[in-house]
Amino acid sequence: MGGRPLIALNVVCFPTDCEPLEVLKEILNGGAEKVLEAGAMLAGGHSVQDEEPKYGLVAFGEVKRDMMWTVGTAAPGDTLILTKPIGTGIAVTAIKAGLFADEYIDPAVQSMAKLNSIPPILSEDIRMSVTACTDVTGFGLAGHALDLLSDGTALEIEVEKLPLLPGIKEMSEMGLIPAGAYRNKEHSGSKVINCSNAGIFAEDLVFDPQTSGGLLIAIPQEHEDELLKQLIAGGFDKSARIGRIVPGANNIKLI
């Protein structure tokens, strides 16, 4: 929402009867490293015994009221900027199947491990210019993009401009689509109109559930170039303009 994190708490479920505690240690170390990288403090947390490992963080932060990024506020004419490549759901499915080429694994892991520490790298005038913003995670690009829309608006997404992780198209063609993508399509598919030459692949992309995807930012067109310039200079070199907000009936058109 345009702010900065201050404090994080661990939330851990772990099967101590079938996984060594060394695995839990590595999970907690990884989380702690990312909290410190974000400039926040890890202040404990809560753990329970469970049948499968689960890990997350509850985070607290602060933001100035007049600089808060929200959803449901994008305006016609706004440009859509995506800050990370998509395809992590397909990538993880392919990795689990042992079919993802070794040279493709590291880019996927690095993308998922990269923090969305974007507000600190942007100038104040650009931060103030953002009209709406959301992260792209489990509901996929389409599901989260719909949250940006205000009444009487719609999205046009240019599929060929979507930044993709390497190897994703090949894996999609092999049918390595995660179950979550089908659930996402059931949930928001009625609001997605596919007019893209990419055919079903376009839907595989926009419904693919993301793990630590990037931010999807709506900003007036006159600030588009400067936002991209600052994102790329700040290390988000895969950032791309993927579409725009237009008048419409709260849906998405893939073109």
Residues 212-242 pLDDT 10s: 999 999 999 999 999 999 999 999 999 999 9
Write down how long the chain is: 255
Which one, of 228, 180, 224, 223, lies nearest residue 204 by Cα? 180
152-162 residue pLDDT tens: 999 999 999 99
Give the count of beta carbons closer than 10 Å to the beta carbon of residue 14.
Answer: 21
What pLDDT sits at residue 135?
Answer: 96
Instruction: Tell if the pTM clears 0.85, that is, is over it.
Output: yes
Helices (H), the chain: 21-37, 88-96, 102-113, 124-129, 140-145, 168-173, 179-188, 200-207, 224-233
Domains of the chain: 4-62 (3.30.1330.10), 69-254 (3.90.650.10)
What pLDDT sits at residue 17?
Answer: 85
Q: 44: which DSSP letter?
A: E
Q: What CA–CA distance (Å, rounded) separates 168 from 131?
A: 31
53-105 residue pLDDT tens: 999 999 999 999 989 999 999 999 999 999 999 999 999 999 999 999 999 99
Name the amino acid, one letter, at 70.
Answer: T
Q: What CA–CA distance (Å, rounded) separates 91 from 89?
A: 5
What pLDDT sits at residue 66?
Answer: 87
Q: Across all residues in the chain, what is the average pLDDT?
A: 96
The answer to whether residue 19 scores a pLDDT higher than 90 is no
When pLDDT is cut at 50, 70 and 90, the band that residue 16 belongs to is: confident
Q: What CA–CA distance (Å, rounded) separates 205 from 88?
A: 10
Which one, of 51, 39, 40, 53, lies nearest residue 11 by Cα? 53
Residues above pLDDT 70, as percent of the chain: 100
The answer to whether residue 18 scores a pLDDT higher than 90 is no
What pLDDT sits at residue 241?
Answer: 98
Q: What CA–CA distance (Å, rounded) separates 105 from 109?
A: 6
What pLDDT sits at residue 174?
Answer: 95
CB 133 within 8 A of CB 74: no
